[in-house]
Amino acid sequence: MASLAHSQLGLRNASPTAGVGWAARTVLTTAVLVATSAFAADTLDPNALKRLVHQDCGSCHGLSLKGGLGPDLRSETLEHYDAEVLTGVILDGIPDTAMPPWRPLISEEEAEWIARYLLEPEAQ
């Protein structure tokens, strides 16, 4: 069965290449969000999301999340942040840094799940 994360991420296959206009991107983003909302929160696939965090976030933050080009994301480092703040950073990135917005690839529910996972890895 295709995991939620992967089926959503698979939408990128349809994404146009560089040079596409702002409007087209908005349409694409909307399409992604509509597709996202089709999945209820109870269909989140924790294993797929954990894999995303360690393998893909991990390409900058390290497989074990202890940092790389991007900062340390271990729970003891992040504990003074609220889950909402982290969710916002995941969805919208940090301007003028290498942290990209993940909104085109994941849903808000998935971003919230990832934020909670980073703060309490054991609880998820």
Partner 1 sequence: MKQLILTLAATLLMTTAQAEPTATGDLGLVIERAKGSVLLVDQSDRAALARIEGLGDLSHASLVYSPDERFAYVFGRDGGLTKVDIVTRQIVNRVVQAGNAIGGAISDDGKLVAVSNYEPGGVRVFDADTLEMVADIPTDSKTIGLVDAPGRRFVFTMWDTGETWIADFSNGDPAITKITDMGKNPYDALITANGRTYITGLFGEDGLTALDLWAETPEPIRVLPNYGRGQEEMPVYKMPHLEGWALTGREFVLPAVGHHEVLWIDSDTLTETGRTKTHGQPVFAMARPDGRQVWVNFAHPLNDTIQVIDSVTKEIIHEFKPGPAVLHMEFTPRGHEVWISVRDANKVMVYDTQTFEKLREIEADSPSGIFFTARAHRTGL
* End-to-end CA gap in the chain: 21
Q: Closest separation between CB of residue 9 and partner 1, Å?
A: 4
Closest CA to 35 of 57, 50, 58, 15: 15
Residue 88 near partner 1 by CB under 8 A: no
In this structure, what is the dihedral angle of CA atoms 31, 38, 11, 43, given to the nearest 10 degrees? 150
**Does 6 help bind partner 1 (rule: CB under 8 A)?**
yes
The residue ranges of DSSP E strands in 1-124, in sequence order, are none
Q: Per CB under 8 A, does 4 bind partner 1?
A: no
Cα atoms in the Cβ-side hemisphere of radius 13 Å centred on 118: 31
Report, in Å, the least distance between residue 118 CB and partner 1: 17
Using CB under 8 A, which of 63, 79, 85, 94 touches partner 1? 63
Token pair of 41, please?
């929160």
Check residue 55 for interaction with partner 1 (CB under 8 A): yes
Q: How far is the CB of 60 from partner 1 (least distance, A)?
A: 7
Site residues, partner 1 (CB under 8 A): 6, 9-10, 12-13, 17-20, 25, 55-56, 58-60, 62-64, 66-69, 93, 96, 98, 100-102, 104-105
